[in-house]
Amino acid sequence: MTTWLNATGGLRYHVRAWRYRASLWAPFRRAIAAWLVEWSPPERELLLVGPSGGYCVDLGFARRFDAVTAVEIDPVARWILRRRARAALRGARTKLAMDSRDYLSPRDGRFELEGVRALCDRYPRAAVLFCNVLGQLPLLGPEPTEESVLPEREGTFEWWLRALPAALGDRSWASFHDRLSGSVRPRVALPTAPVAWRSSEALVEELYPQTDRDDEVLNDHRTSELAAPLVRSAFVWELVPSVFHLVEAVSVRADAPAVAADGRR
């Protein structure tokens, strides 16, 4: 698949962004901007992984860093991001770079940690922000079967996601990513206080109106295995009219022990 037509973003995503970025997406963008300020990692370098054209990430946030590298496989996204970032970083000393290498996609249907380790080796001092990319990666792997989603089985996406925090080492990192999506709006109040991990079933029960309608189907983006011991925030993103994504966000700072759901540090 060509990188500018990839299933995780591509031209259709850019068209949607230009259409809805300033309208339908505005509440979600504001919520993510506030969450980023809360995170504010101490590192001087930042990696934006999968930022697309920077539509949902407040590029003004990048001004606090000396160097920002966008790790993005889509050439159209890199071109748009460069133009948008130029405006957002005007007058700042922040250096912007692009890295088109693919550190995350599965190889021969298996998710491996080598790519993440290569990313960490190449940027040893950078904080990492996964920009709504982790919930898209399963689209690049094998069709889910009972076996292929087991977190205990090496090479599955669930296994990879569970191992990701340790592979990132002692640096700060954060991710906002899809958990569930569908035609029903989840009940998430803003601003959200961080809460403990919940299974997809518990999220459906707590945040969605109960219904028997066959046309109200939710997609599970298979991100539940990420950093399950840590607290997380939840946001709603209306991607197109009447398609709602429940987005979860987790963050870790290198200089502050992560907060576990039981309050332990």
Ligand X SMILES: C[S@@+](CC[C@H](N)C(=O)[O-])C[C@H]1O[C@@H](n2cnc3c(N)ncnc32)[C@H](O)[C@@H]1O
Residues that bind ligand X (CB under 6 A): 6, 8-9, 13, 17, 49-52, 54-57, 71-74, 77, 102, 104-105, 131-133, 136
CB nearer to ligand X: give 83 or 187. 83
CB nearer to ligand X: give 155 or 259. 155
CB nearer to ligand X: give 99 or 158. 99
- Count the residues in the chain: 265
Residue 50 CA to residue 73 CA, distance in Å, equals: 8
Cis peptide before 191 (omega within 30 of 0): yes
- Taking the complex as a whole, how short is the minimal distance between the CB of residue 168 and ligand X, in angstroms? 15
Residue with tokens 């994504």: 245
Query: Nearest CA to 208 among 8, 120, 200?
Result: 200
Residue with tokens 């250096």: 95
Question: Torsion-angle region of residue 37: left (phi > 0), alpha (psi -120 to 50) or beta?
Answer: alpha
CB nearer to ligand X: give 71 or 88. 71
Q: Phi and psi for 28 in degrees, rounded to 5?
A: -65, -40
- Taking the complex as a whole, how short is the minimal distance between the CB of residue 253 and ligand X, in angstroms? 21
The per-residue DSSP string of 141-183 comes to SPPP-TTTT-TTSTTSHHHHHHHHHHHHTTS-EEEEEEEEEES
Residue nearest ligand X (C-beta atom): 9
CB nearer to ligand X: give 119 or 231. 119
CB nearer to ligand X: give 121 or 262. 121
- Taking the complex as a whole, how short is the minimal distance between the CB of residue 205 and ligand X, in angstroms? 27
214 Cβ contact list (under 8 Å, min separation 6):
none
Residue 150 CA to residue 47 CA, distance in Å, equals: 29
Residue 53 CA to residue 81 CA, distance in Å, equals: 4
- Taking the complex as a whole, how short is the minimal distance between the CB of residue 129 and ligand X, in angstroms? 9
- Taking the complex as a whole, how short is the minimal distance between the CB of residue 259 and ligand X, in angstroms? 24
- Taking the complex as a whole, how short is the minimal distance between the CB of residue 226 and ligand X, in angstroms? 16
